Structure formats: structure tokens, C-alpha cells
Amino acid sequence: MRKPGGVRLGRKLAIFTGKPLFDEPLHVGRPNLPDRKTFDGFVDWMFENRWFTNSGPLVKLFQARLQEKLGVRHCIPMCNGTIALELAYRAVGLEGEVIVPSFTFIATAHALQWQEITPVFCDMKPDDCTIDPSHAETLITERTSGIVGVHTYGNPCDHEALESIARRHGLQVIYDAAHAFGNEVGGECICNLGRASILSFHATKFFSSFEGGAVATNDDELAERIRLMMNFGFAGREKDRVDYIGTNGKMTEICAAMGLAMLERMEDIRRVNQANFEAYSEAVRDIPGISMIPPGPSLTKSNWQYVVLMVEERVFGLSRDELLTVLEAENVLARRYFHPGCHRMLPYSGRFPNKGRKLPVTESLSERVLVLPTGEAVDGTVARFIATVVSKAHESAAEIRKMLERGRNG
């Protein structure tokens, strides 16, 4: 835990004094850690087996425990979440155009474009930052083969509406659940929605395997196809036969060791995240122009991974970017997550059919959202200190803005 330095009543903000609240940077996504003895035990087993990759015993054990934990028939570990997206997209037969939310991590789109499938960017619902099904339906053309629903910040997208649209138009639906590991809807794991869900086990996530990802599905045929594709297309027991055009998506044993050790701490970390979320929520409740995005109402269990502020500049007195500058001066490295929308990023902004596309909700969200640090690097005290900085920024908004303008003007 990083402890605040120099905290006292009446303390001036670091943007004025140059003396930050935190002695070291406090990052969003600082990795949570496993029990070291548990992790070392799995690593010792790896060395004893002399099996480091190629679907070794730790990867197989990790897969079995994931399937049990998530309540799905198949959860196939891979080297990262982007490869998991690419393989799932290819395995279900996506081609032509695929509708994706613009307010998402760029990998959701890149994994399509990398396979020469055109991502068509859709606007969002303002209440939970997930894809807007009604707008998605207006984007369907004769080239559309599917829709990707993203559970933004772990909030379930409107899967019933998306799947209804897909049935009417003969489309595939895939879910990007990178933010939603361990989340439940109606008492069931969110990975049971749709034909397949993609997970990320990146080091910055609630649950980490150093680097990694997975495809979760209850479709036996799809799972078998993905297993072949992630190992160059080799056909199981017949070691020299290749049935599919494949790639190398295999998870290593050391990553599986980390994943196995982290599974044992999953509920502990969930409780830490929830306590942090509640501390932040209470501390910012009365700050004008600041609100928090809550877990979606359909969630029956959340990983509480993201603490997301919405900054209303007209009421708060500063823009989101100006508040970010104030926090960075205190060594609180908040994130504009996501900014800009994918449709505004260079690889896509000039391409048909996204050139000149107007997505007003996405554009509004990308100018207002600010993600704060949480996880085991934070506790209630730290959350309250950070909220105090936000409150003081509101109180000193006019002075801060004048100072920033002077800096911009030289």
C-alpha cells in the first residue's frame, strides 16, 4: 500500500505547491498479487514436470478450474485476450462487416480488422456505457455478419435485445467480457450468455495470469474448433494432421501457474474492490458535478473492478482533462478510459463506412469519464484522500483553470 505523504487539514493542492499527496505514482490497474507460496508451489511443479508450454498439466488444471468456477462447459485458456477475440471471431465465421461499440478498448476492433473484417462502430447507451441495440440494428447491411457486445466496466450489455436482433437478421453475437470476469447475471456467470464470451487475464485486470485470455462457450463443436485453431490447426491425437488454418494461441505453464494461484484469491480481491468502490461512492457523493457509474442493475455479482467518475464540466467547474491534470500532480494516475472512441482513432476515422461517423453518446462519454485506482493498492483511507483532492479541485476550480490557461499560453 502506498501511503499518502504530508496529508493535513488545509493542505493546498499539489498543482499549486508541487508537493504531491502520494510519494509514488498510484496507478489504475496496479496488479493484484497471489499468495507467493501457492504460486511457488505451482512453479516448482512446472519445473519438476519440465513442461513449460504446449498444453501442459498446469494449463489443463487451470482450464478445469476455470470451467468449474465459471459454470461453463468450456473455458479455453490462451496467451492473451486479443488472440482469444481473433480466434472466436474466425471460429464462428464472421466476415464482411461486424457491428461493434465504439466506446471500447481498441483490441475489440483490431481483432476484426486484422482479419480484413470491417468493424462498423455503434453508439452507446448513456446509462451504463454499453452498446445501444436500437442503433446497432440501423447499421445492418447485406455485408453484416455479426454483432460484438462488450460488457463495459463489467456491466452486462442488453444481450436479450442483441440476440433478438441477431435472430431476425441471421447474425452471430459474440461477447467481449474482458471487464467482467466473475460477474453474474441472474445468478449465472456472465460467460453463459450467447455462443461465446472472451475473457482477458492481463496483469491490470481484476483476475490476472500475468498475460492471458480465454474463450468461454457451451458449444462443444465451437470449442473443439477453437482448440485446433489455437495450436496451428493440428488435429489432436494425429500429431501430423492439420485440419484448420491456425495460429499459436497457447497459454504457457508459468501463466497458468499464476492463474491457478490467483483463483484462490479471487473472492478476497472482490471484497477489497467492493469496499473501495463503496468508500469512493460515499466520499464523492456530495461533490457537485461528480457522479459514479454503478454496477448494472441486472448484475447479481460484480467484480467491482472499475471506479468510474463522470465529470460534468458545467457544474464541477473543470473539464475531465483539467481534473486529470490535478490528480496527476498528486501522483494519482487516473485514466481516460476510453478516449477517444474507436471511430475517432486514426486507423478507422478515415475509412469507409466509419469516415465522418457521428456517435454523440460515445463522444460525450469519452470527454467525461475518469477511471480511478482501486484493487489492493488502495484502501478506504486512500479512496477518501483521492476524493478530497477532487473536492478541493471543485472548490478551487476558477484558480486552477486560470493557472492552466497561463501555462498553455506560455
In 125-182, the DSSP E strands lie at: 144-150, 172-176
pLDDT of residue 145: 99
Residue 352 has a pLDDT of 82
Decide the pairing of beta strands 197-200 and 188-189: unpaired
Q: For residue 188, which amino acid is it?
A: E
Cell numbers that stand for 139 in this block? 447499421
pLDDT of residue 7: 43
48 in any annotated domain: yes
Is residue 183 located within the same domain as residue 269?
Answer: no
**Cell for 376?**
489492493
Residues 277-332: pLDDT tens digits? 999 999 999 999 999 999 989 999 999 999 999 999 999 999 999 999 999 999 99
- Residue 7, domain member (yes or no): no
Inside any domain, residue 341: yes
Which among 202, 236, 263 is the end of a domain?
A: 263
Same domain, 82 and 226: yes
Residue 5 lies in a domain: no
User: Which residue blocks in 71-119 are alpha helix, DSSP H?
Assistant: 81-91, 107-113
Position 236 scores a pLDDT of 66
Q: How far is CA 3 from CA 7, 20, 24, 25, in A?
A: 10, 12, 9, 11
Q: How confident is the model over 76-102, as a mean pLDDT?
A: 98
- Tell me the one-letter amino acid at 340: P
Check whether 5 has a pLDDT greater than 50. no
Q: What is the pLDDT of residues 121-156, one digit of tens each?
A: 999 999 999 999 999 999 999 999 999 999 999 999
Contact 394, 287 (CB under 8 A): yes
pLDDT tens, residue by residue, 383-396: 999 999 999 999 99
The per-residue pLDDT for 410 is 63
Residues 293, 401, single domain; the answer is: yes
pLDDT band of residue 264 (cuts 50, 70, 90) is very high
CATH number at residue 128: 3.40.640.10
Tell me, what's the pLDDT at 379?
96
Number of domains the chain contains:
2
State whether residue 49 is helix, strand or coil. helix
pLDDT category at 370 given cuts 50, 70, 90 is very high
Distance from C-alpha of 166 to C-alpha of 168, rounded to nearest angstrom: 5
Residue 42 and residue 137 in one domain: yes
pLDDT at 311: 99
**What confidence score (pLDDT) does residue 280 get?**
99
Same structural domain, 271 and 258: no
Place 235 in a pLDDT band, splitting at 50, 70 and 90. Answer: confident
Domain end position, chosen among 207, 228, 263: 263
The mean per-residue pLDDT over the stretch 164-177 comes to 98
Of 238, 263, 288, the residue at which a domain comes to its end is 263
| 140 and 259 both lie in a single domain | yes
The answer on pLDDT for 406 being more than 90 is no
Question: Of 88, 63, 72, which Cα lies nearest the Cα of 215?
Answer: 88
Neighbours of 182 (CB within 10 A): 24
Residue 6 has pLDDT above 50, yes or no: no
pLDDT at 168: 98
Question: In which residue are the cell numbers 485453431 written?
Answer: 229
By the 8 A CB rule, do 131 and 157 touch?
yes
What pLDDT was estimated at residue 1?
A: 43
Kindly give, in sequence order, each residue whose CB lies less than 8 Å from that of residue 290, ignoring residues fewer than 6 positions away: 284, 309, 310, 311, 312, 316, 390, 394
pLDDT over 60 at 107, yes or no: yes
Kindly report the average pLDDT of the chain as a whole number. 95
The answer to whether position 9 is within a domain reads: no
Are 26 and 126 part of one and the same domain? Answer: no
The percent of residues in the chain predicted with pLDDT above 90, rounded, is 90
Peptide bond into 353 cis (omega under 30): yes
- 53: Cβ–Cβ under 8 A, 6 or more apart, which residues? 250, 252, 253
For the sheet with 290-292, list strands across it.
290-292, 307-311, 369-372
The answer to whether position 4 is within a domain reads no
The closest alpha carbon to 127, from 363, 295, 14, 348, belongs to 295
Do the domain assignments include residue 152?
yes
Residue at 318: amino acid letter: L
Kindly report the CATH number assigned to the domain that includes residue 354: 3.90.1150.10
Residues 249 and 197 in one domain: yes
Instruction: Name the DSSP class of 287.
Output: S
User: Do 182 and 152 have their domain in common?
Assistant: yes
Bridge partners of 74, per DSSP, are 217
* pLDDT above 90: residue 11: no
Q: What is the pLDDT of residue 8?
A: 42
Host domain of residue 372: 14-30+265-408
- In degrees, rounded to 5, the angle at the alpha carbon of residue 37 between the alpha carbons of residues 36 and 39 is 65
Same domain, 191 and 245: yes
The H-assigned helical ranges of 293-379 are: 313-316, 320-329, 346-349, 360-368
**Could you tell me which residues come within 8 angstroms of residue 358 by beta carbon, excluding any fewer than 6 positions away?**
none
Residue 240 confidence (pLDDT): 83
pLDDT at 137: 99
Name the grid cell of 315: 457544474
| Domain identity same for 87 and 171 | yes
Least confident range of 4-13, 20-29, 190-199, 389-398: 4-13
Q: 240 and 349 share a domain?
A: no
Structural domain includes residue 8: no
Q: Is the pLDDT of residue 4 over 70?
A: no
Q: Is 190 left (phi over 0), alpha (psi -120 to 50) or beta?
A: alpha
